[in-house]
């Protein structure tokens, strides 16, 4: 069996209102998912995403609050404008657009993030491992020791 | 074995075959077309040998000895480290221009010293045979003769080629170069004469771009002159002049933690971060001081240190400066500065 | 071509009457194909002022290097005018300290194309509206001006300065915006592998000299992301990760700021085609937000504003 797609998950620390969901993300994420928690999706510099992509992430998922529910009023909307364009731009240089996914979580949602991650993983399995823009030797593939 | 300083004759049409035959024992680098310019690249089976490019490669061949990025050491997360792979095959650098070869030799004074030797540089130098191609049509932006070189200068070369029409006059200058031409005929007197005539004509065509007499004293004594403000005014502060310079050798050692490698990269005195100190103080805060550093290094400090001008007049900084700054004009202007003759012994 | 004497008279007047302290324009360079940016602070120096199709820099890049309060006069073409306005939007300059002498631009001549056609031994270049006459060591060549234009100029949509204080010469007809779009769409039609191969090929020539950054009027950050040591944003060397990272992020930082002047590409010593990256971003800004940088001094760039209307563009899970 081929290894599972590697996913970089960027999560706004406010977007998971359910304690059990947050606990799942914090402690029970599968090994192929790498979590980065940020104070707001607005804090996600496009360079974070580029770093994940260059380092061999097969997909990047960004979770944030719904447009009107940002803890910082408009952080998520600024992020969406920027990161959507960054996604388009990376697609233009060769990194498939479908490999970056935005998920907006409602405060009432329960158990959505698990489903989203599972469906994203499935989609990435179809796409296969990313190779374009992957420029750093992966640790798993003969890069320097982990 | 023949004595060095032999004159041989090489038919142009047999050159591709000869180059290919060297590949048995050497990696062969020669200028090849890359987009709109020429660039030193390894010879492959299907490489077309085009030596009619009148101008020099855009990136100087110093990059073959001091790569833009070179890994020094690989390290692990928990404190271990191992040397990076520095294996270099014996190689031939073919059709290097005299200005660039002279520059490489000049750089030896920095990298190969009695008390300090850079092993990476030294190994590449020792394993490289340089076959120079003289410039029978010297470029207009170059000024090799002004700074003590010439279009057929032999410094730093193992072999010098002179284009004499259908063939090259091959002057073998060192033992290292001797191994490359096992089966060539000796050049007859007329070929040698033609070659020398072409060399002399090319030399004579070069004009003196600026006077070098007392230039050092003038630059030195006018350290705080408004002259530096004038010449640096339109400078953008990019690294084109230094990165494309065959004699600029500054590098920066960086730990690339994600790759777990310690690398050295080209660095440029024209960058703000070059002289920025950890405290936040920058002794060269603006482009004025940085321009002064660049010129003074080549025309003052290098003379102090090894008694040679640190410029070989290749003209790259003149050709590719995005704002058209011309080092020749800057130095001509410097010649008008006041100075006192120093009487120090 | 605009009348050089009229430009000079106006520049001289500005200095004589004390309207400005310095006039930023070009003077003849030391080599025939490279006029140099110049800073004239006394009326006597104005005689050195030149203007030609070979003036390849975007003079607006010098604005942020001069003190903010200094009164500056500047000879501007269409793209330079837009860059100035974009700098005003970004609050890097205030309009009252500037006096813009506008010149309708017929396009910048790419000296590399001249070299490609007639060789490097160029002694002198003369031009008129249609022809560029190049004198070289090997003879005289008359070349058509339109084929020598820099790529970003041959698809320029706004050749006229739009907010200059005075316009010298007749305004030119506006360019065709579809030219830029067609080139872009052709590229977008390629497969992602082909697009990546092209990007890779361009980026791997980079020597990280940052001439593109320094030549760009909109790269005015005090500290560039590549100069950060901690955190290190991208690899510092000439490695694929470093070079690609630099080109992606450099271009992306210009989203909503880039005025398509092409100064980055003209400054590049390695002939890297960089505008194909920024053109994509400019095109997206036009398409998504109907925004073009530098067209006025009020509209904020898309990344600097958000509206609640945006939410309708998002897919809510």
Peptide bond between residue C231 and the one before it cis (omega within 30 degrees of 0): yes
Asked if B76's CB is within 8 angstroms of A145's CB, the reply is yes
| pLDDT above 60 (res C126) | yes
| pLDDT above 70 (res B283) | yes
User: Token pair of C275, please?
Assistant: 């505008």
**Chain B residue closest in CA terms to C37:** B234
- Cβ of B215: how many Cβ atoms within 10 Å? 20
Q: pLDDT of B90-141, one tens digit each?
A: 999 999 999 999 999 999 999 998 889 999 999 999 999 999 999 998 889 9
Determine the pLDDT at residue C311. Answer: 63
Residues 6+ apart with CB under 8 A from C34: B321, B323, B324, B326, C54, C56, C111
Asked if C188's CB is within 8 angstroms of A93's CB, the reply is no
| C-alpha gyration radius of chain A | 15
**CB of A133 less than 8 A from some CB of C:** yes
Q: Alpha-carbon distance C76 to C60, whole Å?
A: 8
Least confident residue range of A28-32, B80-84, B318-322, C110-114 = B80-84
- Averaged over A16-33, what is the pLDDT? 91
Residues 6+ apart with CB under 8 A from A129: A2, A5, A58
Strand partners, B11: B167
Phi and psi at A102, nearest 5°, equal -105, 135
Q: Which residues of C touch B263 (CB under 8 A)?
A: 236-237
| pLDDT above 60 (res B258) | yes
Q: pLDDT of C196-243, one tens digit each?
A: 999 999 999 999 999 999 999 999 998 899 988 777 888 888 999 999
> Sheet harboring B69-75: ordered strands across?
B81-83, B69-75, B261-266, B251-256
Reading phi first (left if > 0) and then psi (alpha if -120 to 50, else beta), residue A49 is in: alpha
User: Token pair of C168, please?
Assistant: 């010298």
Determine the pLDDT at residue B106. Answer: 95
Bridge pairing between strands C22-27 and C36-40: antiparallel
Preferred mutation among B278, B279, B322 to probe C, highest tally of C CBs within 10 A? B322
Bridge pairing between strands B128-133 and B159-163: parallel
What pLDDT band is residue C188 in, cutting at 50, 70 and 90? very high
The mean of the pLDDT values for chain B is 91
C265 contacts B281 by C-beta, under 8 angstroms: no
| pLDDT above 90 (res B75) | no
Q: Alpha-carbon distance B231 to B323, whole Å?
A: 12
Determine the pLDDT at residue C302. Answer: 92
Chains that touch B (3 or more CB pairs under 8 A): A, C
The mean of the pLDDT values for chain C is 92
Determine the pLDDT at residue C312. Answer: 58
| pLDDT above 70 (res B35) | yes
- DSSP letter (8 states) at residue B26: S
Asked if C38's CB is within 8 angstroms of B324's CB, the reply is no
Phi and psi at B39, nearest 5°, equal -150, 140
What is the ipTM, given to two decimal places?
0.92
Q: Which residues of A touch C187 (CB under 8 A)?
A: 92
Question: What percentage of residues in chain C have a pLDDT greater than 90?
Answer: 82
Of A12, A13, A17, A57, the C-alpha closest to A34 is A57
Q: pLDDT of A42-101, one tens digit each?
A: 999 999 999 999 988 999 999 999 888 899 988 998 998 899 999 999 999 999 999 999
Distance from the first to the final alpha carbon of chain C? 58
Smallest Cβ distance to A55: which of B74, B258, B261? Answer: B258
More confident residue, C312 or C38: C38
| pLDDT above 70 (res A144) | no
| pLDDT above 90 (res A137) | no
Q: pLDDT of B221-256, one tens digit each?
A: 999 999 999 999 999 999 999 999 999 999 999 988
- Averaged over B289-309, what is the pLDDT? 95
Q: Alpha-carbon distance A21 to A110, whole Å?
A: 7
Determine the pLDDT at residue A97. Answer: 92
Sign of CA dihedral C283, C286, C291, C294: positive
C227 contacts B250 by C-beta, under 8 angstroms: no
| C-alpha gyration radius of chain B | 22
User: Token pair of B178, please?
Assistant: 């001797």
**Nearest C-alpha of chain A: how many angstroms from B260?**
7
The SS3 of residue B254 is strand
C100 contacts C82 by C-beta, under 8 angstroms: no
Reading phi first (left if > 0) and then psi (alpha if -120 to 50, else beta), residue A67 is in: alpha
**CB of C232 less than 8 A from some CB of B:** yes
C256 contacts C154 by C-beta, under 8 angstroms: no
The mean of the pLDDT values for chain A is 88
Q: The whole model's pTM is what?
A: 0.93
| pLDDT above 60 (res A138) | no
Sign of CA dihedral B1, B3, B7, B12: positive
Preferred mutation among A135, A136, A137 to probe C, highest tally of C CBs within 10 A? A135
| pLDDT above 70 (res B5) | no
Q: Which residues of B touch A134 (CB under 8 A)?
A: none
The helix, strand and coil proportions of chain C, stated in percent and rounded to the nearest 5, come to 40, 15, 45
- Classify residue C270 as exposed, middle or buried by CB count within 10 Å of its CB (0-12, 13-18, 19+): buried
Of B59, B11, B246, A60, the C-alpha closest to C206 is B59
Q: Alpha-carbon distance A48 to C154, whole Å?
A: 36
Determine the pLDDT at residue A142. Answer: 45
Determine the pLDDT at residue B3. Answer: 52
Smallest Cβ distance to B259: which of A136, A145, A146? Answer: A136
**Chain A residue closest in CA terms to B257:** A144
The SS3 of residue B184 is coil
| pLDDT above 60 (res A146) | no
Q: pLDDT of C71-109, one tens digit each?
A: 999 999 999 999 999 999 999 999 999 999 999 999 999
| pLDDT above 90 (res B49) | no
Asked if C38's CB is within 8 angstroms of B233's CB, the reply is yes
DSSP of A97-136: GGGEEEEEE-TT--SHHHHHHHHHHHHHHHH----TT--S
Q: Alpha-carbon distance B157 to C78, whole Å?
A: 51
What pLDDT band is residue B81 in, cutting at 50, 70 and 90? confident
- DSSP letter (8 states) at residue C171: P
Residue positions counted in chain B:
345
Determine the pLDDT at residue C314. Answer: 58
C128 contacts C2 by C-beta, under 8 angstroms: no
Residue C179's Cα: distance from chain center in Å? 18
More confident residue, C179 or B171: B171
B182 contacts B24 by C-beta, under 8 angstroms: no
């Amino acid at each position: 069996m081929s290894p599972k797609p590697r996913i970089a998950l960027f999560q706004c620390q406010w977007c998971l209102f359910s304690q059990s969901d947050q606990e799942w993300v914090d402690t029970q994420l599968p090994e192929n998912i790498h979590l980065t928690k940020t104070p707001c999706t607005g804090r996600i510099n496009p360079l974070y995403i580029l770093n994940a992509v260059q380092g061999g992430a097969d997909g990047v998922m960004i979770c944030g609050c719904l447009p009107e529910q940002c803890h910082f009023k408009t952080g998520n909307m600024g992020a969406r404008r920027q990161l959507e364009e960054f996604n388009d731009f990376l697609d233009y240089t060769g990194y498939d657009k479908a490999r970056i996914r935005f998920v907006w979580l409602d405060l009432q949602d329960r158990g959505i993030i698990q489903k989203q991650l599972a469906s994203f993983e499935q989609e990435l399995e179809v796409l296969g491992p990313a190779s374009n823009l992957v420029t750093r030797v992966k640790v798993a593939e003969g890069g320097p020791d982990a | 074995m023949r004595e060095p300083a032999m004159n041989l004759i090489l038919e142009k049409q047999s050159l591709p075959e000869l180059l290919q035959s060297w590949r048995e024992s050497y990696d062969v680098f020669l200028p090849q077309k890359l987009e709109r310019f020429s660039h030193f690249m390894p010879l492959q089976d299907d490489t077309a040998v085009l030596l009619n490019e009148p101008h020099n490669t855009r990136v100087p061949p110093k990059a073959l000895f001091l790569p833009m990025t070179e890994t020094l050491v690989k390290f692990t997360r928990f404190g271990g480290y191992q040397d990076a792979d520095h294996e270099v095959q014996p190689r031939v650098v073919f059709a290097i221009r005299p200005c660039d070869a002279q520059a490489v030799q000049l750089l030896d004074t920095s990298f190969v010293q009695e008390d300090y030797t850079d092993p990476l540089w030294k190994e590449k130098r020792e394993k490289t045979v340089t076959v120079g191609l003289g410039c029978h049509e010297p470029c207009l932006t170059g000024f090799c003769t002004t700074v003590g070189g010439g279009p057929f200068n032999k410094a730093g070369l193992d072999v010098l080629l002179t284009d004499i029409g259908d063939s090259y006059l091959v002057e073998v200058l060192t033992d290292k170069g001797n191994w490359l031409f096992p089966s060539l005929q000796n050049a007859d007197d007329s070929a040698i004469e033609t070659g020398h005539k072409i060399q002399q004509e090319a030399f004579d065509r070069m004009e003196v771009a600026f006077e070098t007499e007392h230039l050092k004293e003038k630059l030195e004594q006018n350290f705080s002159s408004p002259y530096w403000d004038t010449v640096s005014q339109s400078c953008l502060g990019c690294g084109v002049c230094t990165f494309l310079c065959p004699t600029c050798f500054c590098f920066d050692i960086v730990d690339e933690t994600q790759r777990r490698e310690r690398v050295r990269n080209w660095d440029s005195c024209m960058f703000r971060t070059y002289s920025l100190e950890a405290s936040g103080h920058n002794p060269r805060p603006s482009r004025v001081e940085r321009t002064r550093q660049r010129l003074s290094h080549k025309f003052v400090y290098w003379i102090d240190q090894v008694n040679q001008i640190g410029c070989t007049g290749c003209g790259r900084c003149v050709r590719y400066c995005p704002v058209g700054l011309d080092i020749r004009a800057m130095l001509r202007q410097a010649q008008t500065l006041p100075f006192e003759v120093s009487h120090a012994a | 071509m605009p009348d050089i004497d009229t430009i000079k008279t106006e520049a001289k007047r500005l200095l004589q009457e004390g309207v400005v302290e310095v006039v930023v324009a070009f003077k003849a360079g030391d080599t025939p194909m490279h006029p140099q940016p110049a800073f004239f602070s006394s009326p006597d120096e104005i005689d050195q002022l030149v203007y030609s199709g070979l003036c390849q820099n975007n003079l607006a890049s010098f604005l942020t290097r001069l003190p903010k309060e200094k009164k500056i006069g500047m000879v501007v073409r269409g793209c330079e005018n837009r860059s100035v306005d974009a700098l005003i939007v970004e609050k890097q300059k205030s309009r009252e300290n500037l006096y813009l002498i506008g010149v309708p631009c017929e396009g910048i001549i790419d000296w590399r194309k001249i070299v490609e056609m007639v060789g490097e031994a160029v002694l002198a270049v003369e031009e008129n509206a249609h022809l560029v006459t190049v004198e070289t060591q090997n003879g005289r060549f008359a070349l058509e001006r339109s084929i020598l234009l820099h790529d970003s100029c041959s698809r320029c949509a706004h050749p006229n300065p739009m907010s200059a204080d005075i316009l010298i010469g007749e305004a030119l007809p506006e360019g065709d915006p579809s030219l830029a779009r067609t080139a872009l769409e052709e590229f977008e039609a390629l497969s992602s592998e082909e697009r990546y191969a092209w990007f890779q090929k361009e980026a791997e020539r980079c020597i990280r000299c940052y001439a593109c950054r320094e030549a760009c009027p909109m790269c005015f950050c005090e500290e560039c992301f590549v100069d950060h040591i901690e955190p290190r944003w991208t690899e510092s060397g000439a490695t694929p990760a470093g070079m690609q990272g630099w080109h992606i992020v450099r271009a992306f930082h210009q989203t909503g700021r880039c005025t398509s002047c092409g100064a980055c590409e003209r400054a590049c010593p390695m002939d890297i085609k960089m505008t194909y990256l920024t053109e994509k971003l400019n095109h997206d800004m036009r398409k998504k937000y109907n925004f073009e940088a530098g067209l006025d001094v009020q509209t904020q760039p898309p990344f600097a504003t958000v509206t609640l209307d945006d939410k309708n563009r998002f897919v809510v899970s």
